[in-house]
């Protein structure tokens, strides 16, 4: 679908779009008598957007896992227009579950006041996932057709049609430090780059591992003549790394610690550092603290994009919506109990306590900013916390169909109570894979946007931590010193409004004066 925008705020030159935008906000100060002083502010910006998507390659850490093989299968299915048959009939290729490929954005209203919507990716030129070049690393050397079969995610008929594209292809050898993932993953680790002459795992060559990954990125980019490479971690959940002064607190200390093979440097951090040093965006799709302070500082210094943590697919996405709904309605949630069980390899790895702890941390923080938004419901007298319990169990029989059960217990007026129970069954990788597509498409798009203040001649890229990716991430990484925004509606609105302002449209609102004023 083609959309033409007629705005006096934009002009196009040399395949670039230039947009004038006034950013309006309010600065709030609390004075001594407990009231707020609110001062409206405005800053004039000019945005510059390249209108040609870059030829992009995606390197997945965990290519042979459930998400990796499903992502690769979805791209091939759509690229080659493969239809297949299951027990419900013929299924045609699609990208359902992807915001960039399957959702819409409100453009405005027609003459009768009716809302008019257009596909998300029709507002500005975006990368087509069918054009992605996909490769990556994995600690398992299983050929990708066999890895897809092992994952048990895609329908058998589709697997058979995809097998010729994948047979004989193996992931690149990956980095494996046994201390960071569950011991039950040891049998899979037969495709490891960090081994010694006796084929034993060697964790005393971490800088060499960084250099190996950098070389892999360089060769991949050169082999396919790529303009952009993005690295995304969709491998096993690691345990949390300890944050230690002098070890990973600054970029200088972190690089030194890698060279000295410090035990608190994780494989995901090694991949992040290698990507940053190559100027390649790195996205963390698992809950571990890959982005220790030293990594964030390194990304800032190298002006390289990073984003994380942990894909927000099912249970947590619902939680960020429902908790916001309750609090915005003036209802006071006092406890949330979340339970789920799953039978894929992610669940198998999470059966280890240290790896579960990483997942628990990423899930637990999703309602923090929602609580802080309402001082009537949450204060010193009533309490500022929600009793939040999270349980994850491995149950092999359910495979990739994750079962989630949640109970929201809330306080109503005058001592009343409300209980909401949700039972949700989802095919985990078929929810997570569209998130990978969106994260990659949006990262490539944001790399083509720059800005300058009205009185400046120099354009700048967005800050290295891409907080605009928060919609797709369970525990969003944010700029140091700033609070995380978890509310799903706020996250989505930020993305929509960025696209609208870049094409000269006003910020979205629902005042609807057409029908509300005489």
What are the percentages of helix, strand and coil residues in the chain, rounded to 5? 35, 25, 35
Return the DSSP state at 345: H
402 included as an active-site residue: yes
Beta bridge partners of 230: 58
Residues 99 and 120: beta-carbon distance below 8 Å:
yes
Catalytic residue among 135, 309, 310, 400: 310
- Name the one residue in this structure whose structure tokens are 């607190």: 249
The tokens of 281 are what? 């965006």
249 included as an active-site residue: no
Q: What is residue 90's three-state secondary structure?
A: strand
Strand order in 460-461's β-sheet?
10-13, 16-30, 36-50, 449-453, 460-461
Catalytic residue among 172, 317, 319, 402: 402
310 included as an active-site residue: yes
Residue of 45, 36, 44, 41 lying closest to 26 (CA atoms)? 41
Catalytic residue among 359, 406, 428, 438: 359
Q: How far apart are CA 457 and CA 515, in angstroms?
A: 43
The alpha carbons of the chain give a radius of gyration, in whole angstroms, of: 24
Residues 306 and 329: beta-carbon distance below 8 Å:
no
Strands 89-91 and 84-86: antiparallel
Residues 96 and 180: beta-carbon distance below 8 Å:
no
Residues 147 and 67: beta-carbon distance below 8 Å:
no
Q: How far apart are CA 182 and CA 179, in angstroms?
A: 8
Cα separation values, 75 from 54, 264, 291, 436, Å: 17, 36, 29, 11
Q: How far apart are CA 477 and CA 465, in angstroms?
A: 7
Catalytic residues: 310, 359, 402, 474
């Amino acid at each position: 679908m083609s959309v033409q925008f007629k705005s006096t705020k934009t002009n196009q030159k040399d395949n670039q779009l230039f947009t004038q935008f006034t950013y309006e906000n309010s600065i709030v100060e609390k004075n001594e008598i407990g009231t707020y002083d609110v001062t409206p502010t405005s800053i004039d910006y000019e945005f510059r957007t390249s209108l040609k998507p870059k030829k992009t390659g995606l390197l997945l850490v965990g290519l042979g896992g459930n998400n990796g093989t499903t992502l690769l299968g979805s791209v091939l299915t759509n690229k080659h227009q493969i239809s297949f048959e299951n027990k419900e009939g013929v299924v045609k290729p699609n990208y359902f579950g992807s915001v960039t490929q399957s959702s819409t954005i409100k453009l405005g209203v027609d003459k009768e006041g009716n809302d008019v919507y257009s596909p998300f990716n029709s507002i500005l030129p975006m990368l087509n996932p069918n054009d992605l070049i996909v490769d990556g690393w994995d600690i398992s050397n299983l050929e990708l057709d066999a890895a897809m079969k092992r994952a048990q995610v895609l329908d058998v008929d589709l697997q058979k049609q995809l097998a010729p594209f994948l047979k004989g292809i193996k992931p690149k050898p990956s980095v494996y430090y046994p201390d960071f993932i569950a011991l039950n993953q040891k049998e899979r680790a037969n495709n490891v780059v960090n081994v010694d002459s006796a084929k034993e795992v060697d964790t005393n060559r971490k800088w060499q591992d960084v250099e190996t990954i950098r070389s892999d990125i360089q060769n991949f980019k050169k082999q396919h003549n790529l303009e952009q490479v993005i690295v995304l971690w969709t491998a096993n959940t690691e345990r949390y790394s300890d944050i230690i002064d002098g070890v990973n607190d600054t970029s200088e200390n972190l690089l030194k610690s890698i060279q000295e093979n410090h035990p608190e440097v994780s494989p995901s951090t090694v991949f992040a550092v290698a990507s940053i040093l190559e100027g390649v965006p790195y996205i963390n799709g698992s809950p571990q603290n890959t982005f220790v302070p030293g990594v964030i500082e390194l990304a800032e210094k190298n002006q390289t994009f990073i984003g994380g943590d942990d894909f927000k697919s099912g249970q947590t996405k619902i939680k960020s919506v429902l908790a916001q709904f309750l609090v915005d309605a003036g209802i006071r949630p006092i406890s949330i109990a979340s339970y789920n069980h799953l039978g894929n390899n992610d669940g198998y790895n999470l059966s280890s306590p240290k790896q579960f702890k990483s997942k628990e941390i990423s899930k637990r923080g999703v309602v923090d900013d929602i609580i802080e938004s309402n001082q009537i419901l949450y204060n010193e007298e009533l309490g500022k916390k929600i009793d939040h319990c999270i349980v994850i169990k491995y149950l092999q029989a359910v495979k990739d169909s994750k079962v989630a059960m949640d109970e929201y217990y809330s306080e109503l007026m005058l001592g009343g109570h409300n209980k909401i129970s949700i039972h949700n069954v989802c095919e985990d990788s078929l929810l997570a894979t569209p998130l990978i597509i969106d994260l990659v498409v949006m990262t490539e798009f944001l790399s083509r946007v720059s800005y300058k203040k009205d009185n400046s001649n120099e354009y700048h890229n967005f800050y290295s931590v891409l907080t605009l990716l928060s919609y797709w991430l369970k525990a969003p990484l944010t700029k140091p010193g700033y609070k995380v925004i978890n509310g799903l509606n706020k996250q989505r609105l930020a993305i929509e409004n960025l696209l609208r302002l870049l094409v000269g449209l006003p910020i979205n609102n629902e005042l609807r004066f057409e029908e509300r004023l005489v």
